Amino acid sequence: MQFTVSQAPINEFQGQALILFVPSEGELPKATAVINEQLSGFIAQLQQNNDMKGKVGDTLVIPQASGPRLILVGMGKNPMSGKDFCKAINAAAKTLKASAANDAAIDLSDIEIEGFDSEWAHKQLGQSFQDALYHFDECKSKKDESPAKIEGLTVIAENTAEIDLKFGQALAKGMAFAKKLGDMPPNVVTPSYLADEADKLATLSNNLTTKILDEDQMEELGMGSFLSVAKGSIEPGKIICMEYMAGKAGDAPHVLVGKGITFDTGGISLKPGAGMDEMKYDMCGAASVLGTMLAIIELELPINFVGVVAAAENMPSGHASKPGDIVTAMNGTTIEILNTDAEGRLVLCDALSYTIDTYKPASIVDIATLTGACMAALGRVNSGLFSTDEDLVNELLSASNTSRDTVWRLPLEDEYQELLDSNFADIANIGGPLAGATTAACFLSRFTEGQKWAHLDIAGTAWNSGGKAKGATGRPVPLLVNYLANKI
């Protein structure tokens, strides 16, 4: 998709559509007012007749006998909230995609957003319209011969908007990469497939190199926890390290660690069959790290950043771990496996230990579709945030607010740690029926002591279930890219 910045008035646009904002009350924004005057008050008459009430996200497409069609978008009140602006822009992108037009013009210069400036608005614009292009038909024998396309968007703005549009566009490309990895079938997306995708990313930037640990290397390193999960599958586990070093030489990198369970049956603690196909999405933490890396490459951010993926399948077999097994993690901690379906923390703990030993990171954030308990608590609106480092919490909350990729902080007090006590090992891999999201975070905290560390549980936000809405969301790529961009 091509973004063009122009200073010409919107009524001089010669393309196929004009995107115009209509408020629920008050005066029309300048761009809409210009077209309204040109059409002898037609848009204002639509308001008066309640054909276009201006409710946030409502749209109305008006064809013209000559000239571009009008896509009217409800904006609610002006100034708008950041949430309402994003809703309106997403509605505009989806409506344009569904229309017969393949290009349009838009002017945000008179749209006020509470707490945000035009730079933020143009970033969101670039992200939403690029994201609207996502279309998954990789596995269909008959492709959609004429998928809806948006070929170009002319933005009436100062030339500086080009930088902001590029940021949003790069972010959406990272989201699309993460979505595609999640939506692909698990017989294709294996740990080895993710390793190959990481190697492909390395061809896009001279600043990026990859390092892949195989199971023999993990055995030598004493990663008994990771291997206890991987050994149940014929697909070999991998720890994938992507080292993007474009910052100051010698500066410690910021690290993201993603859970990459490419399919999760639950192992011997087998999951119910209904909906188990969605367990291909248990690698969305890994997908978000890969998507973030692509966005960082696109933006050429001058930062030292390492993306780590802990990739394995969790399968039931004669080699699989059993409830009651005790394994030893890389840092020497012994773990009693009470439930083999709590496997994400078993691969992540060794990946975290390796990451800390190898990279001595300035900060470390892990991202995982870790617990149904987090989904029960927060639904599909907020990702769960856990950390005891107040500075890091504030950085992630700030990035969440900017990106509108929302998180909610959940407790991580020491009092929860005793729920992980085991009679037979140093720690159990589950903490019982209560506070499941917190005890999972407590488990990981045992392997990150003394580090600037946070955990994101994206079990509820990484994908949507059921019907036409089913599919990966690309979250939390927007949060992570903004978080890293703020480090510069």
Active site residue 446: no
Tokens of 126: 């670039």
Among candidate residues 320, 361, 362, the one with its CA nearest the CA of residue 343: 320
CA distances from 34 to 37, 122, 123 (A): 5, 21, 25
Residues 6+ apart with CB under 8 A from 286: 181, 194, 240, 258, 259, 260, 309, 310, 311
Put the strands of the sheet holding 304-314 in their side by side order. 208-213, 238-245, 304-314, 254-264, 363-368, 453-457, 383-386, 407-409
How many whole angstroms from its chain centre is CA 255?
16
Phi and psi torsions of 422, nearest 5°: -125, 145
C-beta of residue 155 within 8 angstroms of C-beta of residue 448? no
Options 87, 97, 173, 345, the catalytic residue: 345
**Which residue has tokens 């008459």?**
45
Cβ(152)–Cβ(15) below 8 Å: yes
Instruction: Select from 34, 30, 70, 79 the least CA-distant residue to 52.
Output: 70
Per-position DSSP letters for 195-222, written without gaps between them: HHHHHHHHTT-TTEEEEEE-HHHHHHHT
H/E segment holding residue 484: helix 477-485
Residue position matching structure tokens 């292009």: 133
**CA pair distance 369, 384, nearest whole angstrom:** 10
Q: What are phi and psi of 240, to 5 degrees?
A: -110, 125
Number of H helices, E strands in the chain: 14, 19
**Unique residue bearing structure tokens 């771990």:** 321
Report which of 201, 448, 222 is spatially closest to residue 348, judged by C-alpha positions.
448
Q: Which two tokens stand for residue 152?
A: 């170009």
User: Is residue 169 packed enough to be buried (19+ CB in 10 Å), middle (13-18) or exposed (0-12)?
Assistant: buried
Active site residue 271: yes
Q: Which of 69, 211, 231, 271 is catalytic?
A: 271
Q: Which residues are catalytic, by number?
A: 271, 345
